[in-house]
């Protein structure tokens, strides 16, 4: 006798019930994470720019705004970043929250923070 192989209908439905919500959550969260990495890249680029090491804070903010325009991120602006110096090195840091609506009145709140040193 041949033994049947494959997935039963109930197994298929259970698998779909797990995969679809995980995929939907991933599709909602991924753009937020991508934008965070764009902001982090801009902060690191501005923080490591040797021409800006002795620049004023408004000049550093303008450089960050240029990166924001090029990378097209809108969650934070140059007014939301903190510019400091640690050990003679320029440090650009930021922190913000992103609220992602999931369904009905359920949302996912993600706290992001980064620095040009990390």
How do residues 103-117 score in pLDDT, each as one tens digit? 899 999 999 999 998
Q: Would strands 82-86 and 106-115 be described as parallel, antiparallel, or unpaired? A: unpaired
- pLDDT for residue 7: 87
Average pLDDT rounded to a whole number, residues 19-48: 95
> Do residues 46 and 60 touch, judged by C-beta distance below 8 A?
yes
The pTM of the full predicted model, rounded to 2 decimals, is 0.85
Average pLDDT rounded to a whole number, residues 32-48: 95
118 vs 98: CA distance, rounded Å: 20
């Amino acid at each position: 006798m041949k033994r049947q192989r494959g997935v039963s209908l109930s197994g298929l439905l259970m698998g779909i019930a797990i995969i679809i919500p995980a995929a939907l959550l991933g599709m909602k969260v991924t753009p937020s994470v991508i934008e965070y990495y764009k902001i982090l890249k801009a902060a690191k680029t501005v923080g490591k720019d040797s021409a800006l090491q002795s620049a004023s804070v408004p000049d550093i903010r303008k450089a960050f705004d240029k990166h924001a325009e090029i990378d097209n991120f809108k969650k934070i602006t140059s007014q939301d970043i903190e510019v400091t110096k640690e050990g003679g090195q320029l440090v650009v840091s930021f922190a913000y929250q992103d609220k992602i609506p999931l369904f009905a009145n359920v949302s996912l709140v993600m706290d992001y923070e980064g620095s040009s040193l990390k």
